[in-house]
Structure 1
């Protein structure tokens, strides 16, 4: 598997901006040394894949890494779950077309929460065969909960797990089993959702709902600790997942070039080792 990270651009926000803005965000990422991009058919019903592909069209293929997803397939103007063998084959082919490439570095099974057995029995074997054919470079699973990915780590030969929001300054539940299993099996882990949908980046939502008073109080504590070390909370939130040896990349979603540049600078912000103990 080609190396991922350490910092990657999540492209879901690119589906919600004008194409020129999306292209500028990708260019800013490349200028900042970011060469890993994650996308999915779900994001804007294929719009994010198309915009990413257009932005990378003139970039040498060997110089960047792309992961996309399968299991949530574009149908008409919407997206439907489809973990059937034929659905997975078609979804990968459609993603390749939207991206404008003949191969993709990683394909993740996307949120098979209610389709676990079909994902194991039908979807995974298709991705395994595409990996053998070098149509895809690696097989992964991307979810918001750690239990099912841990099962895939143990029962299949996946290469990578994308876990969103479950190894952060506020929620470390992925460490209980998933990260240990991944480290034991040599499976790479990508950490997404590191701001827990906004609360760790100055917002007010936690897991896409208004943050509870307990969460707000904890964020206030974290903010004060970071300030005592002259570190923005957002910088600590970005870097924290990378402190685990199983985590090889951190994904940050950005909609504009300015956001990309801001986050790239925060990623490079000096963080004293003592900060983690204090947090």
Structure 2
């Protein structure tokens, strides 16, 4: 498979913060965050209709209007169509909503409408990458198979996105999910280009090494790592995958911190750089809702980390032996 979309910078900006996840931010702060990302060399931006019911897309569109469209890569998502609703639709972990509500729709028609609506909110004429959003057991539970059959079957989102790719409206497509299984099934049943996988390939968990990453390498598909800090947990927070961390999470992080202290390594820097060592991974996209947060992420990408630190993680079983580790400083 040839890469159909333009190159992605190794560090991207995730759009949850611009959609007011966990706390509200201002339009001015959102603009300043995107400007800071640009100044740091970031040229990959990810958003979704789900983030603040269009708020993140609207803010990205405004902030990027001053930029040359040929110089950056942008991804958004389908699976939810926004319909007018004066009351809005605030859903945790987002604290704000534009006057729309979300309607689940994994059909080809729904995917096309979602893309066309996103193009208008973003004020651009084409989208580089579109991910099918939250088509995953962690979101749908026992109904996952039902929704996956809709998306993967005749008249489904997969078929619709392949057609949009053929038409040149999008350049590539895949899934944006928090679990491995849907990505494996998509590769087996269709022709995805890239996956945005959140929280599954981090210093806390390396599930994709077993089956997904080898199949991606075989098929020529790429992976973007979302949630490299596991909802901020590896950066010192108390949430893990959008909920309170469990005791075993704290125990694992404590062991990571002990090794980091041994080499005077900033654990968030190691968390951000780790995933990029795998050859199928093209980028990592931590969220940021302020210029200060963004600049810190950019600085962490360039922190020198001793090779011995990574070797100790492998030796102590904190990473599996087959996990590639960074041989040198990561670049933006």
TM-score under structure 2 length normalisation: 0.82
Please say if residues 159 and 187 of structure 1, whose CA atoms lie closer than 8 Å, have aligned partners that are also in contact. yes
Cα distance in 1 between the residues matched to 2:176 and 2:306: 31
- Superimposed CA distance per residue, residues 152-194 of structure 1 (whole angstroms, 9 cap, x where no aligned partner): 1222111101100000111111222111111111101001111
* 1:152-167 alignment, distance < 5 Å: 152-167=186-201
Say which of 248, 253, 267 aligns to 1:214.
Answer: 248
Structure 2 match to 1:4? 8
Say which of 106, 127, 130 aligns to 1:104.
Answer: 127
Please say if residues 154 and 181 of structure 1, whose CA atoms lie closer than 8 Å, have aligned partners that are also in contact. no
Please say if residues 197 and 223 of structure 2, whose CA atoms lie closer than 8 Å, have aligned partners that are also in contact. yes
| Higher mean C-alpha displacement, 15-24 vs 202-211 | 202-211
CA positional deviation for 1:5: 2.4
Structure 2 match to 1:130? 164
Cα distance in 2 between the residues matched to 1:81 and 1:56: 28
Cα distance in 1 between the residues matched to 2:216 and 2:18: 30
- Superimposed CA distance per residue, residues 88-124 of structure 1 (whole angstroms, 9 cap, x where no aligned partner): 1110000000000000100011112321111112111
Structure 1 match to 2:94? none
Structure 2 match to 1:141? 175
CA positional deviation for 1:27: 0.3
| Higher mean C-alpha displacement, 177-186 vs 97-106 | 177-186
Cα distance in 2 between the residues matched to 1:104 and 1:52: 13
Structure 2 match to 1:28? 36
Let me know the Cα RMSD of the aligned residues: 1.0
Which structure has greater helix proportion?
1
Aligned residues: 279
Please say if residues 21 and 256 of structure 1, whose CA atoms lie closer than 8 Å, have aligned partners that are also in contact. yes
CA positional deviation for 1:211: 1.6
TM-score under structure 1 length normalisation: 0.97
Say which of 257, 269, 277 aligns to 1:223.
Answer: 257
CA positional deviation for 1:47: 0.4
Cα distance in 1 between the residues matched to 2:288 and 2:19: 11
- Superimposed CA distance per residue, residues 213-267 of structure 1 (whole angstroms, 9 cap, x where no aligned partner): 2211211110121122221100011111111111111011000010000110011
Cα distance in 2 between the residues matched to 1:201 and 1:124: 35
Moved over 4 A (4+): none
- Superimposed CA distance per residue, residues 189-219 of structure 1 (whole angstroms, 9 cap, x where no aligned partner): 0011111112101101112222222211211
Q: Structure 1: which 5+ residue stretches go unaligned?
A: none
Q: Structure 2: which 5+ residue stretches go unaligned?
A: 85-99, 137-143, 314-332
Cα distance in 2 between the residues matched to 1:18 and 1:104: 25
Cα distance in 2 between the residues matched to 1:88 and 1:213: 40
Cα distance in 1 between the residues matched to 2:16 and 2:240: 18
Cα distance in 1 between the residues matched to 2:217 and 2:306: 25
* 1:40-51 alignment, distance < 5 Å: 40-51=48-59
- Superimposed CA distance per residue, residues 112-146 of structure 1 (whole angstroms, 9 cap, x where no aligned partner): 23211111121111111111111101011110000
CA positional deviation for 1:81: 1.1
Structure 2 match to 1:194? 228
